[in-house]
Amino acid sequence: MKKLTLLLGLYLSVLVSIAQNVGIGTTTPGYKLDVNGRMRVKTGTLNNISTASGIWYDDFRDGSDRIFAGMQDSLRWGIWGGGAGGAGWQFNFNAKTGYIGMGRSAASYRLELEHPGGSNMAFYKGADFHGNITTSDSTLEIASRAGNSFCFPGPCPPAEHLILQPPGNFFFFPGNVGIATNSPRAKLHVDGSVMIGNGAPASGYKVSINGKMICTEARVQLVTSWPDYVFASGYKLPTINDLEKYIRKNNHLPNMPSAAEIEKEKGFDLGDMQKRLLEKVEELTLYVIQLKKEAEGLQKRVAVLEKR
């Protein structure tokens, strides 16, 4: 019975070979080798972790071995590029850790990328390029299909915008972050305007804040002179009468913006307003000094009259 079974198997093998297809577990192979079920490929040497096992794929042009796919060692499955100038192990999967290395023969993270010029990854939608991530020794570049940004998460048209909405803490360390500049000189360097809060940024200003701001110290650097000129000998101080006439006519102090102007300009310049307020304080000081001198003169006259 065993001989009959063996002869029958040989007969079927011959028939399959004549048809140029080989079937294992199937009598109707549709390919050169057609396996119905599992197939096992073992390493060549038992317990030898450095022995590779797998399948060679030859170059149809010259018959040279070009690609090997299989076990890189006892744990890692990978793809090896051979032939002249072959790339070596360019992909490997560690069956024990689940780590994947691309351009690396070993990986210590879930996914690792390596390239002589830095790691890079591109994104496509069909045949259309949609962006890339590239790293070098000192730079992480996230670019859109326009070549100048990458939106995370997307979409966020137009393409020149960069939006970061991480679920938790987000760190750039240890270098600087530059927006619209290739040479950031601070932890966050923005070459342009910044908007904080909702609404639209105010035109002509570097920072727009819709909401409250608190700090322990603030400094305003003025580009104009500080109003010590009020105390100069040539300063023309308006008389009290002239000041009264101006106030009655305009309903605000000289050299100070009116309520209508503040409303029209939607606020005022903090440094300029501090300068104008100090000017009024210094003028008020001169008025107080004048009134003191006039009061002293009246006291002397009263004293002379009382002696008579």
Q: What is the C-alpha to C-alpha distance for residues 239 and 261, in angstroms, rounded to an integer?
A: 26
pLDDT averaged over the chain? 79
pTM: 0.45
Question: What is the Cα gyration radius of the chain?
Answer: 42
Rounded Cα distance, 10 and 3, in Å: 10
Q: Integer distance in angstroms from the first to the last C-alpha of the chain?
A: 160
Q: How confident is the model at residue 282 (pLDDT cuts 50, 70, 90)?
A: very high
Question: Does residue 159 register a pLDDT over 50?
Answer: no
Confidence of residue 80 (pLDDT cuts 50, 70, 90): confident
Each residue of 95-123: pLDDT tens digit? 889 999 888 777 788 888 877 666 577 87
Where is pLDDT greater, at 138 or 257?
A: 257
